[in-house]
Amino acid sequence: MTAATLPRTSLAIVPPDNPGHEVPYHRYLDCIHCGLCLSACPTYEMLGTEMDGPRGRIYLMRAVTDGRLAVDDAVRTHLDLCLDCRACETACPSGVKYHEILEPFRAGLAKSGSPTPLPWVQRWAMRWVLPFRERNRLSLAPLRLLNRLGLGRVASLVRFLPKSVRAMHETLPSLSRHPGKLPEFLPAIGTRRARVVLLVGCVADAVYPETNWATARVLQKNGCDVFVPRAQECCGALDYHGQNESRAEKFARANIAACGFAGGEEPDAVISNAAGCGAMLKEYGQIYGNTDFADSARRFSARVRDISEFLIQLGPIPPTRPVPLRAAYHDACHLRHGQNIFVEPRKLLAQIPGLTLIPLPESELCCGAAGSYNLTQPEMAGRLGDRKAERILATGAEAVVAGNVGCLLQITKHIRQTRPDFQVFHPIDLLDRAYGGGGP
């Protein structure tokens, strides 16, 4: 019997030094090679080459696993170019869990000593700064100070720094004064309808803290007691996808305990306003299903909700203040494809008086942010960012709305290259305005 005719329940015997040994072999056989995923794949859309689409990448990984193909620079390039946006999963009629093939395979590459090298500055930042809330905030403090003093142009000296540092700096929006930490507890306004925990994120808390404050106010307005645990940590996505699984597990344990799922009072919901974080948090139960904290991880994941998802399930109190704005909505990949949430944000925005929501062509196509992709693959990320900016501007909208910090950073960077006055919002920013929210 050949590998091609193995039944779906079979497991091929793969040597442990083969990167494919991390992937259950039947996962490869789930793909029927119909090609319906190709038009949903951002890199296939840009390059038009089979090996830069999901079907071709699955073929590559299976060939390596079978020993028919060696891992060389070409194989690594095709796999590295994948954004892991999971749009192919939404398009797949066979229900192929592509990320459950790609992510373990990449982990196998790293463990076998075949990872793609990154500049040391980026490796350092991704390991020692980005997953830590306070370090993120501290690293941006000098830029905030320069802006407050009206010396923003001094920051242009960054052009003399290494290319990798410039790439990270160029993703940042204009930074105003940080409003500070949210209180640990904010009481419901009116009748209490729910008790929730708010996770503020790492990069999001440093770059878009106003959105966290807006999220808390909107939850209060909708009758929620809001707890913001001081012991919360990074969701672990950056470490988990970067093959630093031990630290990702430590973060998961800390978050589960901080939110009351390790012996405390469990909330009605754990709220995230960042699509990438929410997708990771919802997978704790699956990722850590064989650990000593598996039961608490499953209970935790079952309570995680994106802010738009939670409000629609709760039944939002109708906002009354008009927000006269023509806006387009961009589907963050890990909201649309990772969490299957696409109706809820639109329903929330539709309730805002004066807001006109304009259809956005290719709304579901990745903008190129994809976690740290815009740092690790800047050329492809730049092409996708430019494409997204062109589609948004072509709608004639005055603003664009997206539910993920990475998307907000990426779209802001690319759209303001041609339209410096163009506005970019999180949906909760606009809903907070419609509720009459102000500064913290």
| Orientation angle between helical segments 209-221 and 307-314, nearest 10 degrees | 10
Q: What is the mean pLDDT of residues 176-204?
A: 93
Residue showing tokens 């699956």: 286
On whether both 13 and 49 belong to a single domain, the answer is: yes
On whether both 147 and 209 belong to a single domain, the answer is: no
Q: What is the mean pLDDT of residues 307-311?
A: 98
Q: What is the pLDDT of residue 5?
A: 41
- At which of 284, 312, 340 does a domain end? 312
How many other CB atoms sit within 10 Å of the CB of residue 364? 17
Q: Residue 58 domain-assigned?
A: yes
Q: What is the pLDDT of residue 393?
A: 97
> To 5 degrees, how large is the angle CA 143–CA 149–CA 152?
50
Are residues 235 and 306 in contact, defined by beta-carbon separation less than 8 angstroms?
no
Strand partners, 131: none
Q: Residue 363 domain-assigned?
A: yes
On whether both 404 and 303 belong to a single domain, the answer is: no
On whether both 264 and 346 belong to a single domain, the answer is: no
Q: Residue 179 domain-assigned?
A: no
Q: Who's near 1: CB < 8 A, 6+ residues apart?
A: none
Q: What is the pLDDT of residue 22?
A: 80
On whether both 104 and 126 belong to a single domain, the answer is: no
On whether both 104 and 85 belong to a single domain, the answer is: yes
Distance of CA 285 to the CA centre of its chain: 18
Q: Who's near 226: CB < 8 A, 6+ residues apart?
A: 185, 186, 188, 196, 197, 198, 216, 219, 220
Computed over every residue of the chain, the mean pLDDT equals 88
Written as one letter, the residue type at 397 is: A
On whether both 273 and 378 belong to a single domain, the answer is: no
User: Looking at the predicted structure, is the pLDDT value of residue 197 above 60?
Assistant: yes
**Model confidence over 317-338: pLDDT tens digits?**
999 999 999 999 999 999 999 9
**Model confidence over 140-182: pLDDT tens digits?**
887 777 666 665 555 555 565 556 566 666 677 777 788 889 9
Q: What is the mean pLDDT of residues 220-236?
A: 97
Q: Residue 93 domain-assigned?
A: yes
CA distance 208 to 213: 9
On whether both 197 and 292 belong to a single domain, the answer is: yes
CA distance 380 to 373: 9
On whether both 276 and 161 belong to a single domain, the answer is: no
Q: Who's near 121: CB < 8 A, 6+ residues apart?
A: 162, 164, 165, 168
Are residues 17 and 112 in contact, defined by beta-carbon separation less than 8 angstroms?
yes
Q: Residue 176 domain-assigned?
A: no
pTM beyond cutoff 0.85:
yes
> To 5 degrees, how large is the angle CA 329–CA 98–CA 287?
95
Q: How confident is the model at residue 284 (pLDDT cuts 50, 70, 90)?
A: very high
Looking up residue 249, the CATH number of its domain turns out to be 3.40.50
Q: What is the pLDDT of residue 144?
A: 75
Q: Residue 98 domain-assigned?
A: yes
What is the number of structural domains in the chain? 4
Q: Residue 222 domain-assigned?
A: yes
Looking up residue 380, the CATH number of its domain turns out to be 3.40.50.1860
Q: What is the pLDDT of residue 145?
A: 74
Q: What is the pLDDT of residue 439?
A: 43
User: Looking at the predicted structure, is the pLDDT value of residue 187 above 80?
Assistant: yes
Distance of CA 1 to the CA centre of its chain: 42
| Orientation angle between helical segments 405-415 and 275-282, nearest 10 degrees | 160
Q: What is the pLDDT of residue 438?
A: 61
Strand partners, 198: 271
Distance of CA 379 to the CA centre of its chain: 19
Q: What is the pLDDT of residue 440?
A: 39
Are residues 300 and 284 in contact, defined by beta-carbon separation less than 8 angstroms?
yes
CA distance 440 to 437: 9
Domain that residue 227 falls in: 185-312
Q: Residue 178 domain-assigned?
A: no
Are residues 405 and 334 in contact, defined by beta-carbon separation less than 8 angstroms?
no
On whether both 270 and 360 belong to a single domain, the answer is: no
Looking up residue 57, the CATH number of its domain turns out to be 1.10.1060.10
On whether both 263 and 340 belong to a single domain, the answer is: no
State the alpha helices, DSSP H only, in 318-426: 333-336, 343-350, 373-376, 378-394, 405-415
Q: Who's near 372: CB < 8 A, 6+ residues apart?
A: 126, 130, 238, 242
